[in-house]
Amino acid sequence: LQKPLTYTFHFITLVSNLTRSNGPLDLFMMRGPVWSSTNVQFDLRLDKVHTPPSVKAASLQSFQLEEANHNVANIRLLQPLIGPQDIYLQLFMKFFYNGIYGGTTISNIAIFVSQYEF
């Protein structure tokens, strides 16, 4: 009964070892309905990572799911990623209308990290 209503696909490219001097890097934002009667639960999962054996693979701890406002979440990059690697995340958004489950959206996010720092 809780099959996803919607799948979306998003693609992000990054250079290797990308750093930001003033904290985490916001990569992706997802917004649910703005109505006060609707609440959303977000869940971030690491689906898979493809990388050569010589490169440290990203983990779920490389990212942070931050619930910014009512029904809004940001995925933030917490640490630099070394490339090349392909990272596949899934962001689940479950809708509840007046406390009753209304459906799920799954956003598939592919992050491609270059082997180069430029």
pLDDT reported for residue 1: 58
CB–CB of 38/32 below 8 Å?
A: yes
- Phi, psi (rounded to 5 degrees) for 98: 50, 40
Pull the structure tokens for residue 117: 């720092």
The answer to whether position 55 is within a domain reads yes
Q: Which residues contact 1 (CB under 8 A, 6 or more apart)?
A: none
pLDDT score of 92 more than 90: yes
The answer to whether position 80 is within a domain reads yes
What's the CATH code of the domain at 47? 2.60.40.60
The answer to whether position 98 is within a domain reads yes
The residue written with tokens 């997802």 in the block is 30
Average pLDDT over residues 91-114: 96
pTM for the model: 0.91
44-91: pLDDT as tens digits: 999 999 999 999 999 999 999 999 889 999 999 999 999 999 999 999
Average pLDDT over residues 23-41: 93
The answer to whether position 79 is within a domain reads yes
The answer to whether position 1 is within a domain reads no
Provide the residue type at 2 as one letter: Q
CB–CB of 104/2 below 8 Å?
A: yes
pLDDT reported for residue 41: 96
pLDDT reported for residue 117: 94
The answer to whether position 118 is within a domain reads no
The answer to whether position 50 is within a domain reads yes
4-16: pLDDT as tens digits: 999 999 999 999 9
Domain residue limits at 107: 6-113
Closest to 4 measured CA to CA, from 96, 83, 89, 107:
107
Average pLDDT over residues 13-42: 93
Report the domain count for the chain: 1
The answer to whether position 81 is within a domain reads yes
The residue written with tokens 């990290």 in the block is 113
